[in-house]
Amino acid sequence: MADDKSFDADYAVVGLGSMGSFAFWQLAKRNKRVIGFEQYTPGHDQGAGHGETRIFRTAYGEGVEYVPLLQQARSLWQEFQTEAGIEIYTENKGTMFGPIGDAFIETVEESVHTYKLPHKKFSAEEAKQAYPQIKFKDNHKIICEEYAGFVRPELAIETAVKQGVKLGGTAYTEHPVTAIETDENGVLISVNEKQFRVKKVIVSAGGWTNSLLPQLNLPLELERQVLVWYDAKKPELFTQDKFPIFSRVVNGEGFYGFPTLDGKTVKVAIHHGGGDIIHHPNEVEREIHQRDLDKVTELVKEYFPDLKPEPVKAKTCFYTNTPDEHFIIGEAPSLSNVILLGPMAGHGFKFAPVIGKIGADLALEETSDLDIAIFDPNRFNK
Ligand SMILES: Cc1cc2nc3c(=O)[nH]c(=O)nc-3n(C[C@H](O)[C@H](O)[C@H](O)COP(=O)(O)OP(=O)(O)OC[C@H]3O[C@@H](n4cnc5c(N)ncnc54)[C@H](O)[C@@H]3O)c2cc1C
């Protein structure tokens, strides 16, 4: 390899979005020479990291194997906001409910038992007393976990980049990377007319991964999602202390929501819900249509009688789905010195600080002390 002087930095992070901003922060925190590239301004609304709030929960319906990562993510959210001196993560508990026997709610229960997570299990009658804002059904399994709440995505991303810069990293924002090439001297990153040479690159480009590294041909699908806000009839019932985040299963689909942030409105959304499938973020229909709102409004009418069932605001976003709904993390197949940090399969934000840490560990040590085998980027070729 060439000597140190011929490198612009030791490490680069391409995509300072939800995951990349935290990898950038982690590398800078460890006193490494790191540069980051972001095509927009960090905290923008064109990728997957916007919409005011993201759910954090530890009792994980998507798989018990995620719990150790979530436990570390929780500590890192706390450490990160203490360092930044602002509130980014709010722990206000989480109510998970769904029909008895449903895979999501049963895995939530398995998680709390396997990892002894602090929680309460409610009968429908007890839950109605504790959370009168929600209409529970008698056949529901209802679990309220302590280590749940929400993070503020735009603020988290902006702050991680700022903290990284404060610690010595260089962030090139409004800098779209046009090519990443590898050779015996590391990695060459092209940004418009300029080129940067680094020893290793972390690619955290979310829904843009396949356009940036088309040779990987990852089996990704982008799925349009819509977030919807409703006015509360009695906003005092939906404050952080009275209304935990909720995640429930209805007709096999996820339905989730948050306490009010502005003292007026409550944000809810359907998870997946058959959103339009596209293959590039530019194809996401950003305009909101009546059909985007109707299904969510029906659920609001059914489960939240204290919300006014007329949407007052809505926003689009997209998931970058993988066939098995697990993340893609690890060295890129057949590309040396390129580490993939995502895509995150539509449920990744809560993990951002631990994924950033894993990214830094992979860049520096080529290994992680957390079990990330299920995220192996090579698994699709087997
Ligand atoms: C509506 C919605 C609700 C969600 N709710 C939750 C939730 O409650 N809890 C949860 O845990 N997760 C949730 N998620 C999922 C989570 O937000 C995503 O998994 C996560 O944000 C993905 O992060 P990322 O870093 O992979 O992508 P992004 O945050 O999109 O980051 C990718 C970045 O790379 C940049 N980039 C791409 N190409 C280039 C290039 N060539 N040059 C420079 N920069 C480039 C992009 O501009 C972008 O900033 C939700 C997602 C959506 C859409």
Question: What's the pLDDT score for residue 250?
Answer: 82
Residue 226: is its pLDDT beyond 70? yes
Alpha-carbon gap, residue 204 to 343, rounded angstroms: 7
Question: What's the pLDDT score for residue 14?
Answer: 98
Q: pLDDT tens, 16-34?
A: 999 999 999 999 999 999 9
Ligand 1 pocket, residue 190 CB under 6 Å: no
172 and 35 housed in the same domain: yes
Q: Ligand 1: which residue has its CA nearest to atom 46?
A: 15
Ligand 1 pocket, residue 258 CB under 6 Å: no
Which range marks the domain in which residue 250 is found? 54-151+221-321
Q: pLDDT tens, 306-356?
A: 999 999 999 999 999 999 999 999 999 999 999 999 999 999 999 999 999
Contact of 154 with 52, CB cutoff 8 Å: yes
Residue 1: is its pLDDT beyond 90? no
pLDDT-derived band of residue 269, with 50, 70 and 90 as boundaries? very high
| Contact partners, residue 373, CB within 8 Å, separation at least 6 | none
Q: pLDDT tens, 279-300?
A: 999 999 999 999 999 999 999 9
Q: Ligand 1: which residue has its CA nearest to atom 13?
A: 347
Ligand 1 pocket, residue 42 CB under 6 Å: no
Residue 209: is its pLDDT beyond 70? yes
Question: What's the pLDDT score for residue 2?
Answer: 67
67 and 122 housed in the same domain: yes
pTM over the 0.95 mark: yes
Q: Ligand 1: which residue has its CA nearest to atom 5?
A: 54
One-letter amino acid for residue 12 of the chain: A
78 and 128 housed in the same domain: yes
- DSSP for 192-206 reads TTEEEEEEEEEE--G
Q: What CATH code is carried by the domain that includes residue 161?
A: 3.50.50.60
Closest-CA residue to 107 (of 70, 139, 143, 149): 143
303 and 159 housed in the same domain: no
Q: pLDDT tens, 96-135?
A: 999 999 999 999 999 999 999 999 999 999 999 999 999 9
Ligand 1 pocket, residue 14 CB under 6 Å: yes
Query: What's the total number of domains in the chain?
Result: 2
Question: What 3-state class would DSSP assign to 341?
Answer: strand
**What letters, b where the CB count within 10 A reaches 16 and e where it falls short, cover 320-335?**
bbbeeebbbbbbbbeb
| Contact partners, residue 284, CB within 8 Å, separation at least 6 | 222, 224, 276, 278, 316, 318
66 and 137 housed in the same domain: yes
Residue 305: is its pLDDT beyond 90? yes
* Ligand 1 closest atom vs CA 344: 19
Q: How many residues does the chain have?
A: 382
42 and 59 housed in the same domain: no
* Ligand 1 closest atom vs CA 175: 43
133 and 258 housed in the same domain: yes
Ligand 1 pocket, residue 55 CB under 6 Å: yes
Ligand 1 pocket, residue 152 CB under 6 Å: no
Ligand 1 pocket, residue 375 CB under 6 Å: no
290 and 357 housed in the same domain: no
Tell me what the pLDDT averaged over the chain comes to: 96
Q: pLDDT tens, 148-199?
A: 999 999 999 999 999 999 999 999 999 999 999 999 999 999 998 899 999 9
Ligand 1 pocket, residue 358 CB under 6 Å: no
Residue 80: is its pLDDT beyond 80? yes
Mutate to test the pocket of ligand 1, among 196, 208, 270, 329 (most ligand atoms within 8 A of CB): 208
Stronger pLDDT, 90 or 274, i.e. the higher one:
90
Ligand 1 pocket, residue 204 CB under 6 Å: yes
Distance between Cα 220 and ligand 1 center (Å): 14
42 and 86 housed in the same domain: no
pLDDT-derived band of residue 144, with 50, 70 and 90 as boundaries? very high
97 and 128 housed in the same domain: yes
